[in-house]
Amino acid sequence: MKKNFFKNFVKKNLFFFAFIFFILPANGSSTLDALLEAERLNQAAKLRVSEQQNILAGTQLEISQVMREIQELDQQISDAMDIIDTIELNLLATAVRIEEATDDLALAQADRENQTEILSARLRAMHEQGSVGLLEVLFRADNIADFFVRWEYIRTITQFDQDLLAQLKKTETRVSSNVDNLNRSQILISELQAEHEKAKIELENSAEEKKNFIILLEEDAEKHAEYLDILAEEAHTINLQFGAAQAAHRAHLAEVERKRREEEDRKRREAAERAAAERAEQMSTLNPIGTFLWPLEVRGTTTSNFGKRIDPFTKREADHEGIDVSAPAGTKIFAAEAGFVHMARYGAGYGFHIVINHADGFSTLYAHNSRNRVSEGQRVTRGQHIADVGTTGRSTGNHLHFEVRKNGVHQDPMNYFR
């Protein structure tokens, strides 16, 4: 009944939890609050399951301990039964010995009584005859030797009677003492048997109590296990609700992130459009391209022209997208025309290099510099000192690598000088 009650409770409340996690408005605070509440309920359910598991484990441990105690009590009862059996054997043996000793005592008493009767008869005869009778026996001796023989005979008989009587008395006393000792032993053994019988009964009662206690513990364990199943089912349901709340919150966060990215993309597009408009406006202020100013303060020697050539590194034919003009290290490099610095950085191939955007879609590149003297975004004028000749990057000596591009397409720079 209890288990069905909890099951029905969980099933009835599924609608309530569904209302909390799915019907509430999908805004940030509600989904977060629902998630936090679901997490709290989930943790509480897990804690209840853990506590119930500990209770069940404790009950099972107690059952195993009581089982061990019952086994020990059963062993003690078995040992007590063995002891009682031994005591009963000893008691039976003592009873047999008492019976035998009693028979011996009766025989000893009969012998003593017979001998006493004989001695009494002889004493009565001696008394009736008096000392004259004894003297007659002595004086009838034929000679002195016969006299002493008679005397010794009378003395020996008398002494024999006395010794025999004393021996019978000792025997009677010894047998009587043995009977008394055996009787006391029988009493002690009977008392010991009674004590062990009592101990055995107490052990049996204790074992019975333990068995009854185990029955109660097993009933408790069964109830705990049933309740644990209920809690586990409840925890599983709450965990599902927690997962649903997590999914709802993640969906909300994903939607927020999507909107944020859209807003950032929109801002980037607007910024790019503004920058493009600003660049277009800036570029509109530049003079149209007619010819370019020679980019070095000295004429220098053109060591490699635009077009096909043998690459000095690979030794294979390759396109050369500009011209190479040799010049001493540190020679000033000038802007070939006014414009805006699009790039001023270091690269593995070009080394330190600069790209300037000009009017009419033109741009110029200055590479392998030892030093760049302008920065990206800076406006430069025609003939402005922008860098120094060097041999940085993929270079075989001090020179300027100069390129001209129109709308991104490389042009032969020599076509744009007077």
| 7-64 tens-digit pLDDT | 554 444 544 444 444 444 445 567 888 888 888 888 888 888 888 889 988 888 888 8
280/314 same-domain check = no
Residue 227 falls inside a structural domain: yes
In a domain, residue 181? The reply is yes
Asked whether residue 247 falls in the same domain as residue 324, the answer is no
Position 96 scores a pLDDT of 83
- Residues 334 and 293: their CA atoms lie apart, in Å, by 8
Tokens (6 digits) for 321: 């997208």
CATH number at residue 397: 2.70.70.10
pLDDT in tens, 140-169: 777 777 777 777 777 777 777 777 778 877
Do residues 150 and 38 both lie within one domain? Answer: yes
Domain-terminating residue out of 226, 252, 284? 284
Residue pair 233/89 in contact (Cβ under 8 Å)? The answer is no
169 with 309, same domain: the answer is no
Residue 268 or 82, more confident: 268
Specify whether 314 is located in the same domain as 272: no
Q: Which of 240, 255, 239, 262 is nearest to 26 (CA)?
A: 255
Tell me if residue 352 falls in helix, strand or coil.
Answer: strand
Residue 133 reports pLDDT greater than 90? no
Residue 269 falls within a domain, yes or no? yes
d(CA 105, CA 167): 14
241/107 same-domain check: yes
* Residues 285-322 pLDDT 10s: 777 888 999 999 988 899 999 999 988 888 899 999 99
Residue 17, in any domain of the structure: yes
What are 186-225's pLDDT values in tens digits? 888 888 878 888 887 888 888 888 888 889 888 888 888 8
Is residue 137 within 8 Å of residue 150, measured between CB atoms?
A: yes
At residue 357's C-alpha, the angle toward residues 353 and 363, to 5°, is 75
Is the pLDDT at 136 greater than 70? The verdict is no
101 with 43, same domain: the answer is yes
Is 229 in contact with 3 (CB distance < 8 Å)?
Answer: yes
Cα–Cα distance measured from residue 134 to residue 407, given in angstroms and rounded to the nearest whole number: 181
The mean pLDDT of the chain is 83
323 and 280, same domain (yes or no) = no
Query: Do both 53 and 83 map to the same domain?
Result: yes
Contact (CB, 8 A) for 278 and 296: no
Unique residue bearing structure tokens 């629902």: 34
Last residue in a domain, options 251, 284, 317: 284
Cβ pair 328, 388 in contact under 8 A: no
Total structural domains in the chain? 2
Which domain, by its residues, includes 387? 301-416
> In the listed set 226, 259, 284, which residue is the last one of a domain according to the structure?
284
Residues 267, 306 within the same domain: no
Reported as type and span, the H/E element at residue 368 is strand 362-372
∠ Cα 329 333 338 (to 5°) = 170
